Structure 1
């Protein structure tokens, strides 16, 4: 399986916006140095607002998972205020309203749609007022507001579409994981039913005939019909054949499914995340435990897709001293929140393990991600 990771469009968009915000300050510095133009009021005030904007952009935009939702929204509010200050104080620089477009675009990641719409409206007013401060007419200010209304609306709608497409992709991947697990479980059930059918046929047909043969030979031995010992040897042979058939039937009924191959099939059918499966030597599972492991892996992959946005998942199966197996799964996703509330998936894992007298533990992985460990005695 390939380890090539898909480049996240959100990361690309974030890099472009960050670079753009850094580039916008360069012409301001050059024109200030040349004396061609200068912000309104003390020049240092514009640079203080710019520094506040960059800090809010980096911390709230790139470290939002670290600082949490509340801090991220506070930093976004700081971005809105700082962007407005940059545009109003820097009214002589006509390209600065691009900061407003960036702010509206970033708000789509962390705020409801109605709040983003309010930010767009406020930014349109800021752009129009900055045009008036620069000495342009009302008509020019109206056109400027309309232009930035369209620019903000286009960027917001594009990112909303990107978010929806990403959510659809996650739902599709989760459904694919569930379908792959269901297919693997159905395949194992079909093979088990076929083995049981073959064992019944062997037992009912060949076993019955061999039993009748042994009975006939036993009668012939007692009647003295074969003084040369051929009947005795035939009786022994028939008994051995009957024993072999019974042994074969027992093996067919008790043969454990190939757990490693089953999990590899599930992993190989997922486009994302990349799943690495390792099954240690000595791991053995009957049909019931194989089905339980398959369902547990299904829940783990579904959680990694829906809630963690993981790119890679590692699944390890190892034997437990005294019998049984240990399932350990780790991903490189966002990781859990500070207070993990078990959903249906995690509760389902616990219930499956408890059905075999086992247990399930979960929590954050280091340096990031989520780890689940299940023990099936």
Structure 2
């Protein structure tokens, strides 16, 4: 099961538990008793606002802004219904959400504040001093356990993210090194063919040219035929040398290696039959590496689409994710390096942050 599906199921379960917690209040009200210390409609209003804020926060691109509303409405719901003890469990949820979204200071404030609220709820239901202390202590320990679990999950996620980034960078470096090695070997073979075989065949053609002028008529036909074969063979050698020197980089296979087995985001790759030279292919590989790395680290995207196509003015890489995007784009070292690398080849890079994060890279072919 993917991480995004697990998150959706976790969110649904959390909202479901919050709805179930309201059942004792509803049942007590249906039985003709008063479950709250104030107007019942006020409790339902606070709890509805809590659920609405919680739901919007999960859907929002900037969830920390609603954390205060969630915390206040949860505390109000607990204090307005102190006799329904199970409502205090929402305080644990609030602290866990704060641990997921906010810093240590905010988490500490939420933990202490919610523990005090649990103690005040015990006071409002006429509990003893021991009841007040135990309520505050128990819910405090539950919150500590929730914070510990969230922090452990965040550490695991950060470790997985670092491993994914390192794996992407390692695969890109491996592909570039392998292609550099293959290119060097092809260049060596091309030089050997040109310097040894090519020169020898050139000398052979010249010798046969001289022999054709000096040979008698019966042997002249054989010399001319041998001279023609030598010229054809010399042409074949030159063609082979040119192909070895100008052979295109297998970009499809290299990019498949880079994006293979990424846990998140899910990469959708499409590469047309393009034949960039070695420098352009290396630039595209580095650009894909940077796009994938940014999607892992910053975008919180579920999907990343990569497309390499040929256009009239060169080879174009189009990349787009469904992440959070940004209203103001600030080029870090990676994106600035991408623009510089492509610019040195005579290409250009364009960024689009209106929906998710998009990049268009064009390199000359």
Bucket of the pairwise TM-score, normalised by the shorter protein: over 0.9
d(CA) in 2 for partners of 1:208 and 1:23? 88
Contact kept, 8 Å, 1:37 with 1:92, in 2: the verdict is no
Q: Retained in 1: the 8 A contact 2:37–2:81?
A: yes
Map 1:133-282 to 2 at 5 A.
133-224=124-215, 228-229=219-220, 230-281=222-273
- What's the secondary structure of 2:219's corresponding residue? coil
Partner-residue secondary structure (3-state), 1:284? coil
The one of 4, 16, 19 aligned to 1:22: 19
Which residue number in structure 1 is paired with residue 105 of structure 2? 114
* Total equivalences in the alignment: 363
> Compared with structure 1, are the counterparts of its residues 8 and 348 closer, same or farther at alpha carbon in structure 2 (3 Å cutoff)?
farther
State the distance in 1 between where 2:308 and 2:12 align: 39
How far, CA to CA, are the matches of 2:235 and 2:76 in structure 1? 91
Task: State whether residues 284 and 324 of structure 1, in contact with CA within 8 Å, keep that contact through their aligned partners in structure 2.
Answer: no
1:219 Cα deviation after fit: 4.0
Aligned residues: CA RMSD: 2.1
* TM-score scaled by length of structure 1: 0.89
Unaligned runs of 5+ in 2: none
Q: Which residue of 2 aligns with 1:330?
A: 320
Q: What does residue 350 of structure 1 align with?
A: 339
Separation in 2, partners of 1:158, 1:316:
39
Q: Which residue number corresponds to residue 93 of structure 2? A: 102
- Whether the 8 Å CA contact 2:201–2:234 is kept in 1: the answer is yes
Check if 1:374 corresponds to 2:342.
no
Deviation at 1:153, TM superposition (A): 0.7
CA contact (8 A) 1:5 1:311 kept: no
1:142 Cα offset (Å): 1.0
Per the alignment, in what secondary structure is the counterpart of residue 307 of structure 1? helix
Residues 267 and 276, structure 1, Cα contact 8 Å, conserved in 2: no
Please, which runs of 5 or more residues in structure 1 have no aligned partner? none
Deviation at 1:14, TM superposition (A): 2.5
**CA deviation vs aligned residue, 1:90-121 (integer Å, no higher than 9, x gap):** 11111121121111111123211121111111
Alignment partners' CA distance in 2, 1:251 and 1:205: 17
- Mapped to 1, the partners of 2:59 and 2:233 lie a distance apart of 72
2:84 is aligned with 1:93: yes
The equivalent of 2:52 in structure 1 is 55
Distance 1:260 1:233, change over 3 A: same
1:299 and 2:306 correspond: no
Give SS of 1:62's match: helix
Q: What's the CA shift string for 1:184-237, capped at 9, x where partnerless?
A: 112211211121121122223322322332343344345547862133332332
